Structure 1
């Protein structure tokens, strides 16, 4: 899969996002990055998507609860961006403005992968929403790349009640994975691929090394 060049959206150097499929180990890596930054005396705000504010967490519940009627792909996309708009304005921007670092488990790249490639929605629509509704992009994105089969194996038994997206079929997750990789290839300065099938400590160490290099270059 080949991604179109990613159109310009302002980036912030202290905003870092983690992306990847199910079971890639984002939580472990996020904690390692938090520890690295805090050891250097930085304030760190850790957050997630969809979510990150009380209202956005309510939207998350609507999006992921399998007991609700399945949303149309367009509904899912717009709810994701509604939660993201609230997240940016209530959590991310205030933290960045006071000089904190923000580490987010997922951001807009996930919409391109899940709602774009996964659901088949127009990438141009997502680009427009990113520019006009979100207006910010992480300065650094770490893509934890893991094959779909291994991701399934890692998450098997982890959740007694998988959420609505976790219940998707393998072909959906393969489209998501390939979209992430295509975006990383199109924007290598921002998106760094970390090989995630290895032991968690090795993955976290590599991710931390990338963060150190990023900070040194600022």
Structure 2
């Protein structure tokens, strides 16, 4: 589990905050509501948290099953985060969010917006650098924030405006880009050492 470290908690919180990007998802959520698709804030937060925590603990076993170590996964995760950051910075769609669409709480809100490939990859990649307890604290704080934003989507958009949301998305896109580079460089060296 490791020990509680405020610095690690804050770092992990910022990484997850940027990856989950609930502020950037506000226009998508408003669009879903306008199309008459219900969004249950409490249910969405609960399911997303359960999925992320479940994957955080079971993901390790899954990696062992496929004989993949955390460093390899972190490097692969760095590529996924890199692509996500490009989406945010360049306004392009790399990950197509296609799925069955009846009720918006599960698809696309919980999966893939909140608990998608990016969040799963990031959680496991963070394990290569931070103590478990700090990642979990960061995750629960993020989920609390997600719940608040989902509850007050209209207010958040009014407060930030379309321009504000756009700028925040760009800013966190650059942060994500830097994180992906750091994840890659931090883990690629240990991978290269294994081959020597």
TM-score, structure 1 as length reference: 0.30
Whichever structure has more strand as a proportion of its residues is 1
- Structure of greater relative contact order (alpha carbons < 8 Å, 6+ residues apart): 2
Whichever structure has more helix as a proportion of its residues is 2
